[in-house]
C-alpha cells in the first residue's frame, strides 16, 4: 500500500508513470583507475548512466571524489572492496586486516576460487578470515566515502565480496541498516536487464537494443558494467582470463553513449533512474 501511494503521488506530480519502463544504468569502479574515473563521468554526462559505484581503496579515489563532487546529480554507492584482482597493480586495505591480505599486505586476489590463482581467494581462506577485521575495513570505507562525497545513497560489493559466507553477508546487511545505506547488489526494486556482461564488442549495440525491446511497462530494470577509456594505463591492466580490459571497457562507454541507444530510450519513453531515486520513492 505504501509503495502504491508513493507511486500515485509521483504520477500526480509528473515525476513518474505507472506505464513507464524504467532503466537503471550502474557504472562500477570509479576510483579504481584514472581510466575508470573518466569513463564513469563520461557515461553520465554524455550517456545513460545514472549511478556510480566508488572504490574508496582505489589509487584514484581522490580524483574520483573531486569528480563526483563536481557532478552532484550522479548517484553514488560505496563499492565495498575486499579483494585486489589485477596482475599489474594492487590496492591495500585502509585498516590492519591480515586475514584479508596476501603475504605482501595487498588484498587477496579474488572472491571465488580460480584455477589460474590457486589458494588466492577469500572463499578458499574463509575459515581464517576474521569477522572483526572485515567489519573494521567495511566501516572505514563507508565512513570515508560519507565524509567526502555528499550524494552517497547505498552500498554495493566488489566481486561479490559480501556474499562469501553467511556471516559476512549478515555483517554487511547489519552495517547497511546501521548507516542507512541499503545494499543494492540485489533488490526487489529492480529486475536485471536481460543483456548480461561479456558480450562481444561487435554485437553489443544490437544485443543491447534487443534487450531494451523486451522491457515491460511498469517495471524497473538494472544493467551494470565498467566504463573506462582505452588508454596505456588500462592496456597494462589485466589478469589470466581477462586480457582485453581496455578494449572491453571502452566498449562500455561506446555503448552507453551510443546515439542509437540514446535515441531508442528517448523515443520509447524509457525513464532513466538511479538507485538514490528508487530508494527515495520507496521510503
Would you name the residues annotated as active-site residues?
28, 226
H helix intervals, the chain: 2-12, 34-45, 61-70, 131-148, 166-179, 204-213, 232-235, 245-256, 259-267, 275-281
Residue 51: name the closest of 147, 150, 153 by CA: 153
Q: Please tell me whether residue 121 adopts helix, strand or coil conformation.
A: strand
Distance between CA atoms of residues 166 and 160, nearest Å: 13
Cell numbers describing residue 265: 530510450
Give me the residue label for grid cell 545513497.
Answer: 153
Distance between CA atoms of residues 50 and 23, nearest Å: 9
Give me the residue label for grid cell 550502474.
Answer: 26
Cell numbers describing residue 124: 578458499
Cell numbers describing residue 218: 511498469
Q: In degrees to the nearest 10, what's the CA dihedral of 73, 6, 222, 30? A: 30
Give me the residue label for grid cell 520507496.
Answer: 282
Paired with 51 in beta bridges are: 26, 75
Distance between CA atoms of residues 113 and 214, nearest Å: 34
Cα 217 off chain centre by: 25
Q: How many helices (H) and strands (E) does the chain have?
A: 10, 7
Amino acid at each position: 500500500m505504501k509503495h502504491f501511494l508513493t507511486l500515485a503521488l509521483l504520477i500526480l506530480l509528473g515525476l513518474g508513470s505507472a506505464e513507464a519502463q524504467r532503466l537503471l544504468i550502474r557504472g562500477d569502479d570509479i576510483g579504481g583507475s584514472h581510466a575508470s574515473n573518466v569513463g564513469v563521468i563520461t557515461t553520465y554526462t554524455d550517456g545513460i548512466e545514472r549511478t556510480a559505484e566508488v572504490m574508496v581503496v582505489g589509487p584514484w579515489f581522490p580524483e574520483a571524489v573531486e569528480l563526483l563532487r563536481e557532478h552532484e546529480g550522479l548517484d553514488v554507492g560505496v563499492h565495498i572492496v575486499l579483494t585486489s584482482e589485477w596482475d599489474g597493480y594492487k590496492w591495500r586495505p585502509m585498516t590492519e586486516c591480515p586475514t584479508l591480505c596476501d603475504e605482501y599486505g595487498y588484498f587477496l586476489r579474488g572472491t571465488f576460487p580460480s584455477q589460474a590463482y590457486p589458494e588466492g581467494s577469500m572463499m578458499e581462506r574463509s575459515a581464517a578470515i576474521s569477522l572483526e577485521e572485515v567489519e573494521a575495513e567495511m566501516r572505514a570505507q563507508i565512513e570515508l566515502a560519507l565524509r567526502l562525497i555528499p550524494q552517497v545513497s547505498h552500498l554495493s560489493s566488489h566481486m561479490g565480496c559480501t556474499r562469501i559466507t553467511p556471516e559476512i553477508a549478515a555483517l554487511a546487511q547489519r552495517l547497511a541498516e546501521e548507516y542507512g545505506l541499503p545494499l543494492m547488489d540485489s533488490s526487489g526494486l529492480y529486475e536485471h536487464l536481460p543483456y548480461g556482461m561479456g558480450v562481444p564488442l561487435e554485437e553489443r549495440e544490437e544485443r543491447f537494443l534487443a534487450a531494451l525491446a523486451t522491457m515491460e511497462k511498469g517495471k524497473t530494470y538494472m544493467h551494470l558494467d565498467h566504463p573506462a577509456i582505452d588508454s596505456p594505463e588500462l592496456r597494462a591492466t589485466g589478469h589470466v582470463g581477462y586480457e582485453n580490459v581496455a578494449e572491453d571497457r571502452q566498449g562500455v562507454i561506446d555503448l552507453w553513449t551510443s546515439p542509437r541507444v540514446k535515441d531508442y530510450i528517448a523515443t520509447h519513453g524509457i525513464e532513466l533512474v538511479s538507485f538514490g531515486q528508487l530508494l527515495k520513492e520507496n521510503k
